[in-house]
Amino acid sequence: MKYEIIFTSGYEDDLESLTKELKCDVLILDDKGDYYAPQFITLDRIYGEFREDRHCYLEENLVILREVTKDSILKSIPEIHKWQYYLRWLPLPKEQLIKYFPPKERWVIFTVVVP
């Protein structure tokens, strides 16, 4: 299975995602042409949310990483595939893709092949 991992806001370095411990501008494109919008986050970021008197933390398509970097995101794809994310997450409708993600000219795409 071949996946395209798309950084929709471009990619220069990991400084912003390391600081925020969160990355939400990434898409997974599978070989069927379906886009998925995972939310990459660290446990420390989730813990920080609970300091604000929250009772729970809910997020669709949540992927928890030790640190949010390009490399950790790319390395997580085989695990996401093994977990069969496509049975649990809904593909992103084209309307939402157009509405919430920048124009494709800004996209930086990395390919991950999962045997």
Domain containing 78: what range?
2-113
44-89 pLDDT, tens per residue?
A: 998 888 877 778 878 889 999 999 999 999 999 999 999 999 999 9
Exposure string of 59-71, with b = 16+ CB inside 10 Å and e = fewer, is eebebebeebbbe
Bridge partners for 36 per DSSP:
28
Question: How many domains is the chain built from?
Answer: 1
10-23 pLDDT, tens per residue?
A: 999 999 999 999 99
